[in-house]
């Protein structure tokens, strides 16, 4: 049914980027790697994209994740790629799901990443009582496109090394300080939802509701559709 509403007009790189809500650099990388189908037209061999191919790309039919790969979060086992949001209102509530999730990654020797800083990072260090097995990520540049490019490099490297599951916890209150604005951070979340479908990731984006207003939370919910396929209440702390 959806195919009726998809135009077969060819889109240029900028139009494809707007369609997928990502940067033009991401479109070019995905095209060059063969993940995103493109046509070359004219003397300059410029890229052109069909909306139907872009829609297929969003659906994740070319995902690099093995079909049998799974991860357990809050007692729920789900297939990867998995991109979830959690919401909490206390320091302990913020650790309740994330610490066991990362500890499982260490135990299973799965690549595990934590985006955090300051007091939040210290809480994780104290709770995990371990300094090895988790890589701390920090974004530079302040723009959504820069953060997405950084993740593409990290995830592609881990996938090439044979990772079947890649675990990520992002503390969004800390991440917001790494971006030029809250809007850039939320634009990053929307772009990450598309980009991460190419990799075998299990991701928890942690929202401390003491630091975000209702409009930001609503936008965060819309950027994490996987949440609604699971027991949503398990991710409210």
CATH code linked to domain 70-235: 3.40.50.300
Predicted confidence (pLDDT) at residue 7 exceeds the cutoff of 60: no
Residue 55 CB coordination number (10 Å): 16
Predicted confidence (pLDDT) at residue 42 exceeds the cutoff of 90: no
Strand 135-137, strand 112-115: pairing: parallel
pLDDT for position 2: 41
Nearest-Å Rg of the Cα atoms of the chain is: 18
Q: Tell me if 2-59 shares its fold with 70-235.
A: no
Which class would CATH give 2-59? mainly alpha
Q: Which residues does residue 183 pair with via DSSP β-bridges, in sequence order?
A: none
Q: Under a CB-based contact definition with an 8 Å cutoff, are residues 85 and 138 in contact?
A: no
CA separation for the pair 102, 86 (Å, rounded): 15
SS3 112: strand
Instruction: Return the domain boundaries, the chain.
Output: 2-59, 70-235
Q: Which residue has the higher pLDDT, 100 or 26?
A: 100
Residue-wise pLDDT for 117-156, tens only, equals 999 999 999 998 766 789 999 998 899 999 998 999 899 8
Q: Which residue has the higher pLDDT, 112 or 35?
A: 112
Residue-wise pLDDT for 53-72, tens only, equals 888 777 654 444 445 689 98
């Amino acid at each position: 049914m959806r195919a009726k509403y998809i135009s077969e007009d060819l889109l240029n790189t900028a139009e494809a980027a707007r369609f997928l809500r990502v940067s033009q650099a991401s479109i070019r990388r995905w095209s060059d790697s063969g993940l995103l189908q493109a046509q070359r037209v004219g003397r300059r061999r410029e890229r052109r994209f069909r909306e139907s191919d872009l829609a297929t790309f969003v659906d994740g039919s070319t995902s690099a994740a093995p079909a049998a790969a799974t991860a357990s979060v809050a007692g729920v086992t789900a297939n990867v790629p998995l991109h979830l949001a959690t919401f909490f209102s206390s320091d302990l509530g913020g650790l309740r799901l994330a610490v066991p999730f990362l500890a499982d990654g260490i135990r299973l020797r799965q690549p595990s990443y934590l985006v955090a800083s300051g007091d939040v990072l210290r809480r994780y260090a104290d709770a995990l009582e371990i300094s090895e097995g988790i890589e701390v990520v920090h974004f530079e540049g302040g723009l959504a496109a820069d953060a997405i490019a950084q993740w593409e490099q990290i995830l592609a490297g881990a996938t090439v090394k044979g990772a079947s599951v890649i675990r990520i916890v992002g503390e969004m209150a800390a991440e917001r300080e790494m971006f030029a604005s809250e809007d850039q951070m939320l634009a990053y979340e929307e772009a990450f939802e598309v980009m991460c479908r190419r990799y075998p990731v299990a991701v928890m984006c942690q929202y401390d509701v003491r630091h975000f207003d209702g409009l930001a939370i609503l936008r965060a919910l819309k950027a994490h559709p996987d949440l609604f396929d699971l027991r949503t209440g398990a991710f409210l702390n």
